[in-house]
Structure 1
Amino acid sequence: MRPLLALGLLFASAPAVQARCLLCARDGAAGGAARQAGIPLRVEVETRLDMGRVAVGAMGGEVEVDPVSGARRVRGDVVDLGGFALTGVVTVRGEPGAEVRVILPASVDLESGHGRTARVTGLVTDLSAAPRLGADGRLQFRFGGRLRIAALDDGDYRGRIPVTVEYQ
C-alpha cells in the first residue's frame, strides 16, 4: 500500500479593478468610455475557490474544480478525502448594461506554511464571450481551475488569485 498524505487547499481571491482610459477609446470618441467610467467598477469575492481535501501518492496528480458544475475531479495518484470543493464566486458592480472584460492569470503559485509551493493553472470562468453587467449594474460569475500536485506533497496551500475587471 502506498503512503498518502493529506493536502488541504484554500484559495483567497484578491480583486483588482481597472477603469477604462478616457483617452484610449477605440473609435476616437471618448463619450462611451466616459459614460462607463462614470460609475467605477467594484469587484467583490463572494466565495473563495477551495479544492477541498485530497491525499497524494508517490506519482502525484491534479485536482480540478469545474466553474459551471462545481464538480471536483482528481487525476493521477490522488484520492478525494471528501469535504466541500467550492468554485470561486465574484460579483462585479458598475454601469448598467456595460460590457466588461474579466482577466484571470495563466497560473498562480500557492505556498504552504512549510515553504512548499504548488501551482494552479487553467483558471476559467463560466462567463460568455462578451459579458455585460445587467440592468441592475451587476454581474456574478464563477471560476475554477486545476491544481497540479507533486508526489507525496502535503500541506495547507494558500494564495491569492488576482481577478481583473475592466470596462470594454
Structure 2
Amino acid sequence: MKLRLFLCLALFATPSVAAAQCMLCAQSGAKGTLSTRSTETPLRVEVETQLDMGRVAVGAGGGEVEIDPASGARRLRGDVVDLGGFALTGVVTVRGEPGAEVRVILPATIELEGGGGRLARVTGLATDLSAAPRLGPDGRLVFRFGGRLQVAALDDGDYRGRIPVTVEYQ
C-alpha cells in the first residue's frame, strides 16, 4: 500500500461579528420595540486555540480524521495512518452580559485549501456546549469545538482554512 503524506496544520477559527439582539426601535406610532433586554452588553468572541487535525498519511482508499470536542480525542477511519503531531480541539471564549443565553453557530462544511489548488473538506463541526448555553456570572463562556476532516487519496499537502464562529444573544 502506497501512503501519501497529508499534513493539516491548522483550521483557524475566526470570530465573525458577534450578533447581539436587534436594538432597532419601532417606528413612531408602533407598539413596543424589538428588544427585550433593558441593557445590552456587546458580545466579544475570541479564539483561544485553533482546531488542528495533526499529521496523517493517507492511502489509496482515503478516510477521515475526527476530533471530538468534549474529549479532544482524535479518531482515524479508513485508509489513514497517524504520523503524530498534536491534534487539538478549537477553544473559543465568549464575553458578554452575565447570565445571558446565547446561540453559537458553526458552518456545516468548511473547504480547506492546499498547494496546487487541492481542496479538503471539514464537516460535522460540533461543540461541547449544552443545548441552551449561558454566559456565566462573570459574563464568560468557554467552549471547545471539533469536526471531521474528509481526506481523499492522493491529496497530500498542508491544508488550511477558516471557520467562522457566530455568537448571538437568544
The two structures have a TM-score, normalised by structure 2, of 0.91
- Structure 2 match to 1:154: 156
CA distance in 2, matches of 1:137, 1:32: 18
Q: Which runs of 5+ in 1 are unaligned?
A: none
Q: Percent identity?
A: 74
- Structure 2 match to 1:5: 4
Call closer, same or farther: CA 1:34–1:157 in 2, change over 3 Å.
farther
CA distance in 2, matches of 1:142, 1:111: 23
CA contact (8 A) 1:114 1:155 kept: no
Match of 1:136, SS state, is coil
Match of 2:69, SS state, is coil
Match of 2:116, SS state, is coil
- Structure 1 match to 2:166: 164
Structure 1 counterpart of 2:42, one-letter code: P
CA contact (8 A) 1:22 1:33 kept: no
- Structure 1 match to 2:69: 67
CA distance in 2, matches of 1:159, 1:32: 37
Structure 2 counterpart of 1:5, one-letter code: R
Structure 1 residue 20, shift from structure 2 partner: 1.3
CA distance in 1, matches of 2:41, 2:143: 20
Structure 1 residue 136, shift from structure 2 partner: 0.2
Report the aligned-residue RMSD. 1.4
Structure 1 residue 112, shift from structure 2 partner: 0.6
Call closer, same or farther: CA 1:150–1:31 in 2, change over 3 Å.
closer
**Total equivalences in the alignment:** 162
Give the one of 33, 36, 40 matched to 1:32: 36
Structure 1 residue 3, shift from structure 2 partner: 1.4
Match of 1:18, SS state, is coil
CA contact (8 A) 1:61 1:75 kept: yes
Match of 1:32, SS state, is coil
Cα deviation, 1:18-68, whole Å, max 9, x if unaligned, reads 1211249xxx66553342xx2100000000000000000000000000000
Q: Which runs of 5+ in 2 are unaligned?
A: 26-31
CA contact (8 A) 1:21 1:33 kept: no
- Structure 2 match to 1:106: 108
Structure 1 residue 86, shift from structure 2 partner: 0.1
The two structures have a TM-score, normalised by structure 1, of 0.92
Give the one of 125, 128, 139 matched to 2:127: 125
Structure 1 residue 114, shift from structure 2 partner: 2.1
CA contact (8 A) 1:50 1:86 kept: yes
